[in-house]
Amino acid sequence: MKTTQDILSSIQHKPQFKKILHHKCINKLLSTILPALRRNIKHGYINKNIFYIIITAALNKYDKDNIIKTIKGVLNSPMILKSEHFIECDDMNIEDVIVYVDHKPKLSTDLHMTSAHKIHYVERASGDIQIAIKDEKLHALAQEIQDIIKKESNESS
């Protein structure tokens, strides 16, 4: 019985699915960059044997050169490239690394909010208001809400 990892590894080496291999190789190469610099990288892609990296404007010329030198160092070292860590990049023939600066800010999304961040507000209303609603259904609903507020107010005091 094959696992999902075995199935993916056999599929990714087929020519029609080379984008999966490209994506894995790009992620492996970007993982060699320092985390402080990696935060400012928007994305990377491979086109005609050239590895393009798009960065934010927050990085300076020294950081840009450092990124290029790091990636080229990995690509030019056969011992590193042939290691098990970079096995996805084995078939890639990356000749050059080009870094472009994108001046649009990098959008970040907060995908997960833990239950520890739930905010609970204490009810400060006392429920002593006049309800002047003529519609009977709305008046009954407002009355129920007022009763709940009064009940909470009496319990907390």
Confidence of residue 142 (pLDDT cuts 50, 70, 90): very high
Q: Return the CATH fold of 8-102.
A: Alpha-Beta Plaits (3.30.70)
CA distance 119 to 79: 53
Q: How far is CA 52 from the centre of its chain?
A: 20
Count Cβ atoms below 10 Å from residue 75 Cβ, excluding itself: 20
143 backbone dihedrals φ, ψ, rounded to 5° = -65, -40
CA distance 28 to 13: 17
Assess whether pLDDT exceeds 90 at residue 140: yes
Residue 15's identity, in one-letter code, is P
Count Cβ atoms below 10 Å from residue 134 Cβ, excluding itself: 6
Q: Domain spans of the chain?
A: 8-102, 118-156
pLDDT, tens only, 52-102: 988 888 778 888 888 888 888 888 887 777 777 777 777 778 888 888 888
pLDDT, tens only, 7-24: 877 777 777 877 888 888
CB 33 within 8 A of CB 71: yes
25 backbone dihedrals φ, ψ, rounded to 5° = -65, -40
Q: 143 vs 61, which has greater pLDDT?
A: 143
Confidence of residue 125 (pLDDT cuts 50, 70, 90): confident
CA distance 79 to 18: 23
CA distance 92 to 69: 18
Residue with tokens 């393009």: 52
Beta bridge partners of 43: 54
Q: How far is CA 41 from the centre of its chain?
A: 12
Residues of the chain with pLDDT > 70, as a percent, come to 90
Confidence of residue 139 (pLDDT cuts 50, 70, 90): very high
